[in-house]
Amino acid sequence: MTTETLTHQKESLRPRRESADSESKALFGFWIYIMSDALLFASIFATYAVLQNNTFGGPSARELFSMPFVLTETLILLVSSFTFGLASLYAHHHNSKNKVLAWLLVTFLLGVAFLAMEATEFTKLFQEGNSWQRSGFLSGFFTLVGTHGLHVTAGLIWMSGLIVQVWRRGITTTTIGKVGTLGLFWHFLDIVWIFIFTFVYLIGAI
């Protein structure tokens, strides 16, 4: 093998290495974002913990929340995490564009259903006169659950863009990387919701 051949091979591998390095840096940066977001939610959880008993003579969590409704909402979000996992699986191991698109679309629709139920709950509370201004407890509740809802909305906007990219470009190194990054974000939101369901709804109903 000549020196020119070796040089050519090294040069042909260089773009791949640079692409891999760029993806690694992007993934590391996103992990830093996830950790900062975890701190944000931790501070809101702490605020809610302080305010949860400050009802100011108004209704408490036990009087406001419908557990069957919230449980359905929770199951929808958990199923969306599973369907996103299937999309990620087909992207990484089966290189199946159509199946990735199908499972991303199912995940998107489940996310929309979750937000619709959350909006329904908020609307009902407002109509009954239980807005965030009613008490410290409701201020903490709307801040915590609303912040999570905003994150889910951002995730759905991101997912819609990813669906378009996969549809146009197919399964490439770039789209696979974006599926993995969005997966981290989506699963993180599911974990946050499990804490919300446990500490806000489940314990509040006891």
The predicted pLDDT at position 19 comes to 46
Domain count, the chain: 1
Within a domain: 133 = yes
Question: How far is the C-alpha of 49 from the C-alpha of 140, rounded, in Å?
Answer: 8
CB-based contact 59:154 (threshold 8 Å): no
CB-based contact 88:180 (threshold 8 Å): yes
Instruction: Tokens for 107, please give them.
Output: 């995940």
The predicted pLDDT at position 15 comes to 46
CB-based contact 61:205 (threshold 8 Å): yes
Instruction: Tokens for 153, please give them.
Output: 């909305």
Within a domain: 61 = yes
Within a domain: 63 = yes
Indicate the average pLDDT of the chain: 87
Residue found under tokens 């009087």: 63
The predicted pLDDT at position 61 comes to 87
Within a domain: 2 = no
Give me the domain span that covers residue 154. 25-202
Distance of CA 76 to the CA centre of its chain: 13
pTM to 2 decimal places: 0.86
Within a domain: 45 = yes
The predicted pLDDT at position 21 comes to 54
Within a domain: 73 = yes
CA distances from 181 to 102, 131, 144, 186, 189 (A): 18, 35, 24, 9, 13
Query: What's the CATH number where 34 sits?
Result: 1.20.120.80
How confident is the model over 2-59, as pLDDT tens digits? 555 444 444 444 544 444 555 667 777 888 999 999 999 999 999 999 999 888 888 8
